[in-house]
Amino acid sequence: MFKDQKVLVTGGGGMIGRSLVKFLLEKEAQITIADLTEPSDLPENVNYVKVDLRYFSQCEEICNGMDYIFNLVGVKGSPKMCAEQPADFMVPMLQFNTNMMEAARRAKAKWYLYTSSVGVYAPAAVFVEDSVWETVPSPNDRFAGWAKRMGELQAEAYSIQYNWDKVSIVRPANVYGNYDNFNPANAMVVPSLIRKAQENNILEVWGDGTAVRDFIHADDVALGMIFAVENQITKPINLGSGEGYSIKQVVEMVVKHANKPLEIKWLTDKPSGDALRLFDMTRAKSYGYDISVGLDEGIKRTTEWFTNNKEILDKRYNAFVDH
């Protein structure tokens, strides 16, 4: 499907984007990455275009002539950042989503992939795809969750009005892996813990460790995206493991792979987020999708990558500090 096809990956320099580009190259696609900053160690046969997706004219320009478009651009951050800087989540994501989907439609792309989020779901023990529109997003994800929901609703609106139903929607769980944001000030739980474990003797962890999450390695998300497009899946699908791990279990894995003695300090006066977030993987598995990287192995790989690539980590664009 992708051999010699022109494929655009927005956010291609990010964690999931890197994995996606790697697998698309194996399929001999002609890849263009659109990002705010040029990725380090970019493969020679991949084009890079600097673009700001908040501006429709730039989106229209990069989508022109593309066969397949993977829109991975979003804003990630910790519960603290969600609470303190909600506009930095919501406004850019609304702009990214609206502009890119309209540009892809006008460009008559063969297929478009939209990256949604766990944030679209209401608090629940298990997240099932079709439950989304019966509820509202978790208070912890109110702004980002609604922004991502609007992208999904836009796809439905285009299907109704324009009969443009060439859109796959994926909802990744808690993603981690190489090229993640490892800044403890605003990173997600796995990369934040990995960096703090490497650079300190005392590992401070927000909450009491009881919160349960569904984690997925970036490679498995990228493979899930390709899977969704190859199978032309138009129903939203969850991309997770379907297995829950407590933050305490995650900490234990991080400590194990840090290969150093660490004292763990639980900051129980800090928020833990929702108690339980687990993905129902029934729909994705019914199509034939499953993950290949378990959490312990994934944390081991990510820790090794972090220790070997510290020098490039702070060069990436960060929505919370770069304006």
What is the CB neighbour count within 10 angstroms for residue 310? 13
Helix (H, G, I), strand (E, B) or coil at 167: strand
In order along its 323 residues, the chain shows pLDDT tens digits of 999 999 999 999 889 999 999 999 999 999 999 998 888 788 889 999 999 999 999 999 999 999 999 999 977 656 677 678 888 878 989 999 999 999 999 999 999 999 999 889 988 889 999 999 999 988 878 888 899 999 999 999 999 999 999 999 999 999 999 999 888 777 888 999 999 999 989 998 988 999 999 999 999 999 999 999 999 999 999 999 999 999 999 999 999 999 888 999 999 888 777 778 899 999 999 999 999 999 999 999 999 999 998 877 766 545 443 43
Note whether residue 68 is domain-resident.
Answer: yes
What is the CB neighbour count within 10 angstroms for residue 262? 18
Dist. CA 155–CA 167, nearest whole Å: 7
The pLDDT, as a whole number, for residue 320 is 40
What is the CB neighbour count within 10 angstroms for residue 120? 28
What is the residue range of 81's domain?
6-315
Q: Residue 311: is it exposed, middle or buried by C-beta count within 10 angstroms (0-12/13-18/19+)?
A: exposed
- In total, how many domains does the chain have? 1
Tokens for 8, please give them: 């655009």
Note whether residue 1 is domain-resident.
Answer: no
Note whether residue 321 is domain-resident.
Answer: no
The pLDDT, as a whole number, for residue 316 is 54
Q: Which of 201, 299, 297 is nearest to 250 (CA)?
A: 299
* CATH classification at residue 181: 3.40.50.720
Q: What pTM did the predictor assign? A: 0.91
Dist. CA 91–CA 87, nearest whole Å: 6
Note whether residue 286 is domain-resident.
Answer: yes
Question: What would you report as the CA-atom Rg of the chain, rounded to the nearest whole angstrom?
Answer: 19
Q: Which residues of 66-87 are buried (b: 16+ CB within 10 A; e: fewer)?
A: bbbbbbbbbbbbbbebbeebee
Note whether residue 322 is domain-resident.
Answer: no
Note whether residue 55 is domain-resident.
Answer: yes
